[in-house]
Chain A
Amino acid sequence: MRLNSVAKTVLQRLGLGLITLFIVSIIIFSAVAMLPGDFAKATLGQSATPETVAALQHEIGLDRPPVERYFSWVGKMLKGDFGSSFASRTGYRRTVAEIIAPRLYNTIFLAVMTALIAVPLALGLGIVAALYRNSWFDRVVNTVTLTTISFPEFFIAYMLAFLIISRDTFAGTEFAQSLPAWLAISINWTLNVVPKFPTLANINDETPFWDHVWRAALPSITLTLVIVAHMMRMTRAAILNMLSSPYIDMARLKGMGPMVVVVRHALPNAWAPIVTVVAFNLAYLIVGVVIVEVVFVYPGVGQLMVDAVRSRDVPVVQACALVFAAAYILLNLIADIISIATNPRLLHPR
C-alpha cells in the first residue's frame, strides 16, 4: 500500500515529464516551419537559381507536410541522427550529431565539475547561515550573495580574468605607480597569491584529464560564484522555514540536543526543499554555461549554440535547444521524484 502511493505519484510525474518533453520537441521542431518563407533564398544569396532554392527546401524538408516531417525528425533523432548542419555543402556533409558530441562531453564535464564544487559549498554555507541566523557571518554572507546575484555572469567572468591578468600587469600601470610604494607592493603580493589559471580554455580531444580540469578552472569558478549565491540563499530560507515549525519547537522542549533536532527532526523534512534548490540551480547552470563558455572560449554546446544562432544554422540550434531543454526537464523531474520519494508524509501514510 505504502509503496503503491509513492510509485503512483512517481509514475505520474514521469508521464508528465514525458508529455512536457514531447510538447517542447514539437515547439522546437516547428522552429523550422516558422522560418520566413524566403529563408532558402535568403541563405543562398541573391544569385540563387530557382533549382538550388528548391533543392535546399527539399533538403530541409520544407516541401513535405509538417506532421510527416515531425515524425521523421523524431524518429531519426531517437536513432542519434540530428540531421545535417546548414553549413554542410554538397560532397561535404557535416552532421549535427558529429558537431555536437565532443562539445556535449565538454559541457557536461564543466557542469559536473561546477556542481561538485558548488553544491557542498552552498549547502554548507546555507545551513551554517541558517543555524547562526543574524550573526555577523549570516549578514556578511547575505549581503555578498545579494550583490553577486545581481551581477551578470560575464561581469564576474571578466572580473576574475582581469584579476588573474593583473598579476603580471599591475606593477606597470599608472595607477600602481601613483600609489605609495608599500601599498603597490602589497597589492602585487596579494595578486600573486592567485593561481595563474588560464584565461582561455584551450581544450581539444587530446587534452589529458587533469589538464582539462586546470583549463576549465576559471569557467567553473565563475559558474560556482553565480549559483552558490542562489543556492545558499534558498537553502538558508528552506532550513529557516523548517526550523520555525511547531514540531521542531516540540523536539527542543522535549530536551533534545541541537544536533539531534537538526539531523533526526529537521533534515527528513528538509530533503525535499534542498533537493529542489539543488536541481533548480543545476538547471540554472544551463543558462550560465552559455555565457561563460563564450567568455572563456570554452568549446561546449553553449558556445556552439550561440555561433549557430549568429549564422542562423537552424538544425544545430534546434539540436542544442533540445539538449538544453531535455537536461532542464530531466533535472526538474529528478528533483520532483526525489522530493516525493523522501517525503515522510507519503512514505508513512495514515
Chain B
Amino acid sequence: MTSAEPLIQTTRAHRVRRTRRSRMRMALKNAPLSAWFGMGVILCYVVIALFAPLIAPYRETQVFSEAFAPWSHEFTFGTDQLGRDMLTRLIYGARNTIGIAFITTTFSFAAGMTLGLLAAMYRGWLDQLLSRAVDVLMSIPSLIFALMLLSIFGSSIPSLILIIALLDSTRVFRLARAVGLNVVVMEYVEVAQLRGEGPVWMLRKEILPNVLPPLIAEFGLRFCFVFLTIAALSFLGVGIQPPSADWGSMVRENATLITYGDVTPLLPAGAIALLTVAVNFVVDWFLHSTSGLRDEK
C-alpha cells in the first residue's frame, strides 16, 4: 500500500483532475440553444411552484362573484367556472401538478432502480420473478391499468401517487436491470465481491456511479411521462380532485369556453405542453453529451 501512494501523487501532478463543477461548467458552455431554453423554462416553473403563495394575486380557493369572467385588469386571465381567478389557479396548479408528478417519479425511481440493480446483481430466481412480474404489468397499457386501479381504490392523492409509481417503476426496472447487467460483469465489481463487501456497498459504491448517466436521462423522460399521465387522469376527472388547483382538471372544467372561441382553457394545457417540451429538450441534450446513446421513445 505504501509504495502505491507516491505513484498516485506523481500522476496527479501531471494531469490536473477536473472537479465535477468544472466539468459541469464546460458542458453547460457547449449546450445548444434548445437546452438553454428548456433549462430556463424549467427554472421558471420551479420558482413559480416554490413561491406560489407570494406570486399569486389571490388565494387558491378564493371565489369571486362572477364565474367565467373575461380577461380584465382585475383578473388577468378571467375567472373559472366557480369564479376563481384563473391566473392564481394556474400558479398554484404548477405547485400541485409538478409536485405530485415529481414525488411519483422519485418513488418510481427508488423502487425501480433498487429492484432492477438487485436483479442484475443476484440474477437467479429473484431476477426471474421480478422480470416476469414486470412483463405482466407492462402487458396492460398503463393508463388503462391506472384507471382500473383508481376505480377500486378511489382517487385520492396518495393512491394516485402509489399506483402511478408502481406502474411506472416497471420501465425504470427494465432499464436499470439492462444497464446494471453490463456493469456487474466488470472486474472492479468482482474485486469488490472478493474483498467481501456487503450488498449495500456494492450497490452504492460500485454499481450506482457507473449506471447513473442513462438513469438520470431516464428520470427526465419518466417525469414527462408521469406528468402527462397524471394530467390526463385529472383531465378525465379521476386524478387530482377539487378544490386543489391542477392543470389537467382546469382544462376539463373550463372546456366549454372553447365553444365560444375563448383561448383560456388552452392556457393550462399549454402550460403542461411547454414543460414537457422543455424537459424533452434538456434530456435530448443530456443524452447527446453523456453518450452517443439516444432512444426514440
Binding site for B on A (CB under 8 A): 20, 23-24, 27-28, 31, 34-36, 146-147, 149-155, 158-159, 161-162, 165-166, 168-170, 172-173, 199, 230, 233-234, 237, 283-284, 286-287, 290-291, 294-295, 305-306, 308-310, 312-314, 317-318, 320-321, 324-325, 328-329, 332
Give the distance to chain A from B276, nearest Cβ to Cβ, in Å: 4
**Distance in Å: Cβ of B164 to nearest Cβ of chain A:** 14
Structural contact, A325 and B139, CB atoms closer than 8 A: yes
Q: Is B277 an interface residue (CB 8 A)?
A: yes
> In whole angstroms, what is the CA distance A27 to B148 when docked?
10
A-facing mask of B126-152, CB < 8 A → 1, else 0? Answer: 000000000110011111110111111
Query: Using Cβ atoms and an 8 Å threshold, which residues of chain A touch B140?
Result: 24, 27, 321, 324-325, 328
Contact B280 A150 (CB under 8 A): yes
A283 and B139 contact, Cβ closer than 8 Å, known pairs A154-B251, A158-B255, A173-B261: no
Partner of B266, one of A159, A283, A321: A159
Given contacts A153-B232, A165-B258, 6 further A-B contacts (CB under 8 A): A28-B148, A31-B149, A154-B232, A155-B273, A306-B238, A324-B141
Can you name 13 A-B residue pairings with CB atoms under 8 Å?
A: A20-B136, A150-B276, A152-B273, A162-B266, A233-B296, A286-B144, A287-B144, A294-B236, A305-B144, A313-B151, A318-B148, A325-B141, A332-B139
Closest to A305 in B: B147
A173 neighbours in B (Cβ, 8 Å): 261
B255-276 vs A, CB cutoff 8 Å, 1 = contact: the mask equals 1001111010110011011001
- Taking the complex as formed, is B99 at the interface, i.e. its CB lies under 8 A from any CB of chain A? no
Contact yes or no, B236 A291, CB < 8 A: yes
Asked whether any CB of chain A lies closer than 8 Å to the CB of B214, the reply is: no
Cβ-based interface call for B77 (8 A): no
Q: List 10 tightest A-B contacts by C-beta distance, closest first.
A: A169-B261, A155-B269, A150-B276, A309-B151, A150-B277, A287-B143, A325-B140, A321-B148, A151-B273, A317-B151
Is there a chain A Cβ closer than 8 Å to B94's Cβ? no
A152–B142 Cα distance when bound, in Å, is 15
Q: Would you call A169 and B139 a contact (CB within 8 A)?
A: no
**Does B208 lie at the interface of the complex (its beta carbon under 8 Å from any beta carbon of A)?**
no
Q: Identify the closest chain B residue to A153 (Cβ).
A: B232
Q: Is the CB of B151 within 8 A of A27?
A: no
**Bound Cα distance from A289 to B153, whole angstroms:** 24
A337 to B294, CA, bound (A): 27
Contact partners of A329 in chain B: CB under 8 A: 139
Please measure, in the bound complex, the distance between the C-alpha atom of A81 and the C-alpha atom of B66, giving whole angstroms.
Answer: 50
Given contacts A152-B269, A166-B261, A290-B144, whether A27 and B297 have CB atoms under 8 Å apart is no
Secondary structure dominating the interface of A? helix
Number of interface residues of B (CB under 8 A): 45
Bound-state CA distance A168–B206 (Å) is 64
Cβ B144 vs Cβ A321 within 8 A? yes
Chain A residue contacts of B142, Cβ below 8 A: 287
Distance in Å from the Cβ of A322 to the closest Cβ of chain B?
10
Task: Give the residue of B154, B263, B272 whose beta carbon is less than 8 angstroms from that of A152.
Answer: B272
Give the number of residue pairs across the A-B interface with Cβ within 8 Å: 141
CB-based nearest A residue for B268: A155
Say yes or no: A152 contacts B296, CB within 8 Å.
no
- CB-based contact A34/B232 at 8 Å: no
Quick one: which of B154, B235, B238, B258 contacts A161, CB cutoff 8 A?
A: B258
Residues on A with C-beta less than 8 A from B150 are 309
Q: How far is the CA of A326 from the CA of B235 in the complex (A)?
A: 25
Alpha-carbon distance between A161 and B251 when the two chains are bound, in angstroms: 13
Chain B residues, Cβ within 8 Å of A313: 151
Q: A153-B232, A155-B273 are in contact. Are A308 and B136 (CB under 8 A)?
A: no
Compute how far the CA of A28 lies from the CA of B149 in the bound complex, rounded to whole angstroms: 9
Chain A: minimal CB distance from B231 (Å) = 6
- Cβ of B237 under 8 Å from chain A: yes
Q: Which residues of A contact B224 (CB under 8 A)?
A: 150
Bound Cα distance from A283 to B143, whole angstroms: 12
Q: Which residue of B lies closest to A172 (CB)?
A: B261
* A65, B260: Cα distance in complex, Å: 55
Q: Are A230 and B263 in contact (CB under 8 A)?
A: no
Provide the residues of chain A in CB contact with B228, threshold 8 Å: 152
With a CB–CB cut-off of 8 A, which chain B residues contact A328?
139-141, 144
Contact of A321 among B147, B259, B296 (CB under 8 A): B147
Q: Of B141, B251, B259, which one neighbours A283 at CB under 8 angstroms?
A: B141
B139 touching A237, Cβ below 8 Å: no
Task: Point out the residues of chain A lying under 8 angstroms from B237, CB to CB.
Answer: 306, 310
Assembled-state Cα–Cα distance A283/B224 (Å): 20
Residue in chain A with minimal CB distance to B261: A169
Contacts of B273 in A (CB 8 A): 150-152, 155
Q: How far is the CA of A328 from the CA of B280 in the complex (A)?
A: 27
Query: Do B135 and A20 have beta carbons less than 8 Å apart?
Result: yes
Which B residues are CB-close (under 8 A) to A158?
251, 255, 258, 265-266, 269
Residue contact A165 to B147, C-beta cutoff 8 Å: no
Residues of B within 8 A of A230 (CB): 297
**With a CB–CB cut-off of 8 A, which chain A residues contact B255?**
158, 295
Beta-carbon nearest neighbor of B277 in chain A:
A150
Separation of A88 and B261 alpha carbons in the complex (Å) = 40
- Residue with the greatest number of chain A CB neighbours at <10 A, chosen from B139, B149, B224: B139
Q: Say which residue of A31, A146, A149, A310 sits within 8 Å of B148 (CB atoms).
A: A31
Which of B154, B236, B259, B272: most chain A Cβ within 10 A? B236
- Tell me if B296 and A31 are in contact (CB < 8 A): no
Q: Are B152 and A314 in contact (CB under 8 A)?
A: yes
Q: Whose C-beta in chain A lies nearest to the C-beta of B274?
A: A150
Q: Is the CB of A155 within 8 A of B270?
A: yes
Cβ contact of B238, chosen from A150, A295, A309, cutoff 8 A: A309
